[in-house]
Amino acid sequence: MVERAGRLEGKAAIVTGAGGGIGAATAALFCREGARVLLADIRLDAAQAQAQALKTEGHDAVAFQLDLGDPASIREMIEAAVEAFGALHVLDNNAAATNLAQRDGGAETMDPEVWDETMRVNLRGPMLAAQAAIPHMRRAGGGAIVNILSNSAFAGDMAPTAYASSKGGLLVLTRYLAAQHGQEGIRCNAVSPGLIHIAEKSTPQREAFRDLMREHELTPRPGEPRDIAHAVAFLASDDAGFINGQVLHVDGGSLAHSPYFADGQRARRAAAPA
């Protein structure tokens, strides 16, 4: 992909979950597109390392330790960005609770504590961040909120029930924020990733699942954090000024085909002459 320098020139932005993976890639692209960026993560050392690397490149980046489950921490994050940059134009709600995945199964066996904690971080957290950010965006003359969803919210599966439900709620929140604040120049859109290869999260089980999912992707390569970063940067920019309340699926086409697509592909390969 070709990066167009300056697309976010003059913007002040927050990226949550910026200590690694998709968040780190997004924060880096934001900076290279001209934004000043606050990198928020529960892992302060990771956020500081990413911010320092960007500073070394000459960008304006600061780190903040965020507990997305703590309303006070969320408010302090927004105020820290405004104090550092003098304004706030972009909020990328990327962070989510992924540490509960092994306990997040079917509804029948769901631990209510897992459900509540997932909703607290993945749904209440972005709502509170938007709530605190909107007055500053209004003072700045407008802004953009980008929520990171998951394709798990768009089709049923055996798991993860709580995580997928929280992302489904975030989809609805995206459209309500768009409806409530769009005419003020504050847009809210969402990006829904498919399976993205994140090196630091690689495990044998995850790689086996990736191999399975590749059969459902319609692209010659798997997804990478930069793919999500480019989508978020576009929606955050003025280029997307007439786009509001929408979801951009960045999934290699995984949701674009019939459910039996992969089965058909395997059958055709098996029937092909040797």
pLDDT in tens, 144-190: 999 999 999 999 999 999 999 999 999 999 999 999 999 999 999 99
Q: Considering only CA atoms, which of 182, 193, 190 is closest in space to residue 247?
A: 190
Please report where in the chains the tokens 């953009």 appear, as a residue: 144
Tell me the backbone φ, ψ of residue 123, rounded to 5 degrees. Answer: -120, -50
- Our answer to whether residue 163 is catalytic in this structure is yes
For residue 132, pLDDT beyond 70: yes
Cα-based distances in Å from 144 to 20, 48, 82, 150, 181: 22, 25, 15, 19, 10
Number of helices (H), then strands (E), belonging to the chain: the values are 9, 7
Enclosing H/E stretch for 90 = strand 90-93
Report residue 251's pLDDT band, with 50, 70 and 90 as the boundaries. very high
| Token pair recorded at residue 242 | 């007439």
Q: CATH for 12-271, among 3.30.590.10, 2.30.30.40, 3.40.50.720, 3.40.50.300? A: 3.40.50.720
- Sequence-distant (6+) residues with CB within 8 A of 159 are 104, 105, 106
The residues spanned by each domain of the chain are 12-271
139, 160 contact by CB (below 8 A): no
pLDDT at site 202: 62
Q: State percent of the chain over pLDDT 70.
A: 96
| Token pair recorded at residue 54 | 């960007």
pLDDT at site 101: 83
For residue 2, pLDDT beyond 50: no
Using alpha carbons only, what angle is made at residue 230 by residues 228 and 231, rounded to the nearest 5 degrees? 65
Report residue 204's pLDDT band, with 50, 70 and 90 as the boundaries. confident
Catalytic residue, candidates 21, 163, 164, 170: 163
- Reported for 124-128, long-range contacts at CB under 8 A and 24+ positions apart, including other chains, are 124/69, 125/68, 125/69, 125/74, 125/93, 125/95, 126/68, 126/93, 126/170, 126/173, 127/173, 128/71, 128/74, 128/75
| Token pair recorded at residue 255 | 């949701």
For residue 94, pLDDT beyond 60: yes
Radius of gyration in angstroms for the set of CA atoms belonging to the chain, rounded to a whole number: 19
Q: Considering only CA atoms, which of 144, 44, 140, 30 is closest in space to residue 90?
A: 144
